[in-house]
Amino acid sequence: MLLEKLCNLSSVSGNEKEVRDFIYKEIEHYVDEIKIDFLGNLIAVKKGKESFPSIMLSAHMDEVGMMVKAIDENGFIKFLPVGGMDDRIFVSKVVEIGKKKIKGVIGAKAIHLQEPEERKSALKHKQLYIDIGAKSKEEAEKLISIGDYIHFDSKYIEFGNHLIKAKALDDRAGCAMIMELLKQEFNSTIYAVFSVQEEVGLRGAGVAAYEVNPHMALVLEATTCYDVTDIDEPDFATRLGKGPALSLVDSSSYFDKNMIQNLLHITKSHGIKVQFKQTTKGGNDAGRIHLTREGIPTAAISLPCRYLHSPISVIHKDDFENTLKLVSLFLNSLKKEDDYE
């Protein structure tokens, strides 16, 4: 499965090459042009008819992770988070470091050695370290270097009632959907953008949008899902298995109302379950895209995802398939440019 292959690759923000190379090989026979810009975005063009509006489909290749900060005299590694993560997820996780993918585990002072005050709150990442089994700094330095990227070692698995667990579902799910869409034929020219550095400030998509300058843009993302215990229902944000999520506004974007109305019409006429994201927290590449040049009409379709920004993110297969179906129908619904005047 394409999604499984993507999730099992590593591409921490700023180091997206592994995923980019894979996507390039998978899509090159389905597109008319393909390029990599100076920032590292992969931009593919599938040409349509000149009389139809062009559209940019965007998903980011990068994932949250870590970077080697220092190596102490005993060979233990101190690290920095790359992207927004809760410090509570780090303890006891298995990781891989650098190009050689050196195995390690994130450790902490044993609980029976902690002071009473230390036990009252979660350990910060500054209090943690990675153990690669080295006996000294010199031994560790033969395997890793300062600045090496670190990713979680968490494999894709399917479990329960059509659920998928993997790291980097944010946003390899979006990448997988665009890759599948490129196998189809549409009237509009498709600019497929696989962006970099979304997790550290939405950096890549704005550059790509300026380059391709489309008539409109659609961002395919993963978003928070809190439908678990001890959370009040209005704060669920989204619900697993209830369909793709649309947003009217978030912390970085007001989404185009005409695009949202078109998407809603399609869901009703084709019986596709859809939900609105119930919070305005968070943002995605739309925040940069819609402000590019004179402004680009932009919408986002998000895949509900439990335990976002962790090595055990969870999505529902039905949500993935319904999102893919909705985007395909939306692309087929685009009318000639004259109809938008």
Give pLDDT tens digits for 265-300.
999 999 999 999 888 888 898 899 999 999 999 999
Residue 320: band (very low, low, confident or very high) from pLDDT cuts 50, 70, 90: very high
Task: Taking residues 315-322, report their average pLDDT.
Answer: 97
pLDDT of residue 282: 80
Contact 15, 184 (CB under 8 A): no
Asked whether the whole model's pTM tops 0.75, one would answer yes
pLDDT of residue 341: 46
Q: How many CA atoms lie within 13 A of 161 on its CB side?
A: 2
> What torsion do the CA atoms of 132, 136, 141, 144 make, to the nearest 10 degrees?
10
Phi, psi of 302 (to 5 degrees): -115, 145
- Of the residues 198, 199, 321, 337, which is catalytic? 198
CB 242 within 8 A of CB 229: no
54-58, 161-165, 228-232, 283-287 — which is least confidently predicted?
228-232
Report the distance separating Cα 131 and Cα 22, nearest Å. Answer: 30
Q: Percent helix, strand, coil in the chain (nearest 5)? A: 30, 25, 45
Q: Is the pLDDT of residue 205 over 80?
A: yes
Task: Give the pLDDT score at 131.
Answer: 96
Sign of CA dihedral 152, 321, 193, 220: negative
Q: For 151-160, how does the pLDDT look when each residue is reduced to its tens digit (9 = 90+)?
A: 999 999 999 9
Average predicted confidence (pLDDT) for the chain: 92
| Catalytic annotation present for 198 | yes
Looking at residue 127, what DSSP letter applies? G
pLDDT at residue 124 in the model: 87
Quick one: pLDDT band at residue 115, thresholds 50, 70, 90? low
Reported as type and span, the H/E element at residue 17 is: helix 17-27
The count of C-alpha atoms lying within 13 angstroms of the C-alpha of 310, restricted to the half-sphere facing its C-beta, is 19
Q: How many CB atoms lie within 10 A of CB 339?
A: 10
Going by C-beta distance under 8 Å and a sequence separation of 6 or more, which residues neighbour residue 234? 278
Q: Which two tokens stand for residue 245?
A: 């999520």
Query: Half-sphere exposure (CA, 13 Å, Cβ side) for 173?
Result: 32
Q: Which domains does the chain have, with CATH numbers?
A: 2-63+167-340 (3.40.630.10), 66-152 (2.40.30.40)
Q: Are 226 and 236 in contact (CB under 8 A)?
A: yes
Q: What is the pLDDT of residues 154-202, one digit of tens each?
A: 999 999 999 999 999 999 999 999 999 999 999 999 999 999 999 999 9
Q: What is the CA radius of gyration of the chain?
A: 21
Evaluate whether 75 touches 111 at the Cβ level (below 8 Å).
Answer: no
Q: Which region holds residue 164: left if phi is over 0, alpha if psi is between -120 and 50, else beta?
A: beta
CB 165 within 8 A of CB 8: no
Question: Across residues 200-211, what is the average pLDDT?
Answer: 95
pLDDT of residue 234: 64
d(CA 247, CA 286): 11
Phi, psi of 219 (to 5 degrees): -95, 130
Q: What is the pLDDT of residue 340?
A: 47
pLDDT at 122: 74
Q: State residue 120's pLDDT score.
A: 61
Three-state secondary structure string covering 220-268? EEEEECCCCCCCCHHHCCCCCCCCCEECCECCCCECCHHHHHHHHHHHH
